Structures are given as C-alpha cells and as structure tokens.
Amino acid sequence: MIDQSAIIQLGNPKLRQKAAWVENIQDEKIKTLIDDLIATVDQANGVGIAAPQVAESLRLFIVASRPNARYPDAPEMNPTAMINPQIISHSSEVVKGWEGCLSVPGIRGLVPRYQTITVEYMDRNGNLQTQELTGFVARIFQHEYDHLEGMVFLDRVESTEELMTEAEYQQRIVNQT
C-alpha cells in the first residue's frame, strides 16, 4: 500500500504535468499501481484519486464514490479503475458543487462541472467501457480527469469567495444538509 504521505500536494510540480497514456494495461506495475491507489483512496476517506497524485504521471485514476467522513452524501459504488479515460460528450447544463482534494488538504471550493458526461476508458482488464455519468460521480470523473491535464480544482473556482476551510465546510455545509 502507498503510504498516505506519498500523496503529493499543491506546489509539487509533478501535479502540474500532463500525464502520459498508459501503453500496456497488462503490465504488473500498472496492476500494482491500481491496487495501491484503491487502498490509498479508501484509507484517506477520498472518493477518487489520480495516478499523478502519487507522482506517477500516467493517465489512470480511481473513481470510488461512497459515503464517508469527508463526503457523507456520496453515492455507493465499487472502486473503479479508469485507464486512458476520455470525455466523449457532455450536457450543456453545468452545476456548481463543493469539492476537495487529497492534494489540497484543508480547503474546499465551489466548482462548476457538467451535470452529465459520456465517457470512455479502458478497465483494468483492458476492455473498453462507455458510460454515462451524472451528478456527483460525473463530478468526481471531471475532477480526476483534470489531474491528468495538470489541473487542480482551485483552477476552476470562479471566485476566492467560493473557497472555505475544511472546518468551516464541515460546520456550514455538511451540518446544514
């Protein structure tokens, strides 16, 4: 398992690189990386993690929505590895929602994302998957996809007034819903 301290944080230039395509999905190193990322996101109470966040600049991330201490209202799903993911199409509707990031600890921001997206990715067995994602899971996908492009959610926040500390977020947003 990757030690949680292995998650790199804002300011590390590796978080700002455009990640490379995964050439060989069957490579043992890729399988190990996927298993490590799934264990790490679980341990960190995350709902997603991208390979660049552990300094592996590859186009691969985990979407693992489930209710936890950081996201009590998240829908439940099996952790899913998405390799060489792409957004094929998206709704015109954009919704703002609160996001955080394991690489930006202690800060939440209100981020506009497409409500619905159609995505393609290779699963861990090398099969091409096409899915329509909506709401919170679509938000996770778009957040993780940004990591592959060297972006973080702060880049998409429209005003610094739409930032909050984790403590204020827990008090004002989580406890209100």
Phi, psi dihedral angles at 125 (to 5 degrees): -95, 0
Instruction: Report d(CA 126, CA 100) in Å as an integer.
Output: 30
Q: For residue 144, is it left (φ>0), alpha (ψ between -120 and 50) or beta?
A: alpha
Closest residue (Cβ) to Ni ion? 101
Tokens in use for 134? 């909506």
Tokens in use for 129? 């998957």
Secondary structure (3-state) at 115 = coil
Instruction: Report d(CA 137, CA 153) in Å as an integer.
Output: 15
Q: Which is nearer to Ni ion, 19 or 101 (CB)?
A: 101
Q: Which is nearer to Ni ion, 2 or 101 (CB)?
A: 101
> How far apart, in Å, do the first and last CA atoms of the chain sit?
34
Q: Which of residues 56-85 bind Ni ion (CB under 5 A)?
A: none
| Stretch touching Ni ion by CB under 5 A, among 9-17, 36-44, 86-94, 100-108 | 100-108
Shortest separation between residue 26's beta carbon and Ni ion, angstroms: 27
Q: Which is nearer to Ni ion, 15 or 119 (CB)?
A: 15
The only residue of 2, 51, 58, 101 in contact with Ni ion, by rule CB under 5 A: 101
Shortest separation between residue 90's beta carbon and Ni ion, angstroms: 19
Q: Is 157 in the site for Ni ion (CB under 5 A)?
A: no
Shortest separation between residue 152's beta carbon and Ni ion, angstroms: 6
Shortest separation between residue 144's beta carbon and Ni ion, angstroms: 7
Q: Which is nearer to Ni ion, 23 or 77 (CB)?
A: 77
Active-site amino acid positions? 144
Closest alpha carbon to 145 in 70, 82, 74, 67? 82
State the residues that interact with Ni ion by CB under 5 A.
101
